[in-house]
Structure 1
Amino acid sequence: MDLWVQNSNHNLATIFPALFPHTLRPSATVARVLSIPTFNLDLVPRLSHVAELELENLCAMLATASLNVQVHDKRIGRIDGKPLTCNSAYKAIWSDKPIDYFAPAIWKNYVPNKCRIFLWLASKNRLFTNERRFN
């Protein structure tokens, strides 16, 4: 468990680099793996020698760990410290992009949708006119 505490800011892929490529579910959480009674790690059938040693170390570390299944998994955003949602993730991705002041005029009107899409493509210079096709 000392190794786990020392490397608590790293994920398992950096702590066990030889074992991680052998997993069939790289996005599985530790809570999910430990919740299965048979301790199924979803690994490929044959491990390399180094991966077997890392698996033994991991099993020894996890044998001393206990999880409280009553506590819900709460992930928070790095920017605002609030629970992570699709909306906050989308805002974080687009936060450094310039604001398009023409967009509300395109999307907040009563023209048919095909006209809105045409105007949007025109404002982003994405219309392939004959002039752009042959240049």
Structure 2
Amino acid sequence: LDLWFNGSTENLATIFPALFSHTLRPAATVARVLGYPALNLDLAPRLTHDAEHELGNLRDMLASVSMNLQVMDKRTGRFDGKPMTCKSAYKVVWINKPIDPFATTIWKNYAPNKCRIFLWLAHKNRLFTNERRFK
């Protein structure tokens, strides 16, 4: 969760570290958290004194905030500025990884899928042979 605070954007995890250490969902959206008035839906039970104090401060800060749930989520990718998709996230994760030269040979052939999976696991040394099972 990010917060526009004193002219700059700050992450709530840095503003409220004790409270953030008790969260069960660190990637929760602002709309989800603010959708429940108690604000403790995704917090571990039995907060520390510091976390209780920070929760009170956060409730005071958010008392004047009103969310419009009718507005669509407009998150965009950092690299291309387009709406986030699984495909774009996957590309970002693998952008600096080298391409396996055998991948196209293994996956782009007419063998049954179970054979291709077997070849891929053998190529990546992920088959559980009797020797590995013994260890």
TM-score relative to the length of structure 1 = 0.73
Q: What is the CA-CA distance between 1:58 and the residue it aligns to?
A: 0.7
Match of 1:97 in 2: 97
Three-state SS of the structure 2 residue aligned to 1:9 is strand
Q: What residue is the counterpart of 2:40 in the other structure? A: 41
- 1:14-29 equivalences in 2 (<5 Å): 14-29=14-29
CA contact (8 A) 2:76 2:83 kept: yes
Structure 2 match to 1:5: 5
Partner of 1:78 in structure 2?
A: 78
More deviation, 74-83/104-113 = 104-113
TM-superposed deviation, 1:22: 2.7
Are 1:106 and 1:116, in contact at CA under 8 Å, matched by a contact in 2? yes
Identity %: 70
Larger radius of gyration: 1
> Which residue is 1:65 aligned to?
65
Q: After the TM superposition, which of the residue ranges 74-83 and 108-117 deviates more from structure 2? A: 108-117
Could you say what the CA RMSD is over the residues aligned between the two structures, in angstroms? 3.1
Partner of 2:51: 51
Change (3 A) 1:16 1:108: same
The TM-score, its normalising length taken from structure 2, stands at: 0.73
- Structure 2 distance, partners of 1:130, 1:66, is 61
Map of 1:107 onto structure 2:
107
3-state DSSP of counterpart to 1:32? helix
Structure 2 residue matching 1:18: 3-state secondary structure: helix
Deviations 1:38-73 (A, max 9, x none): 334223443323222212211111012222222111
Where in structure 1 are there 5+ consecutive unaligned residues? none
Q: Unmatched 5+ residue regions in structure 2?
A: none
CA distance in structure 2 between the partners assigned to 1:102 and 1:24 by the alignment: 41
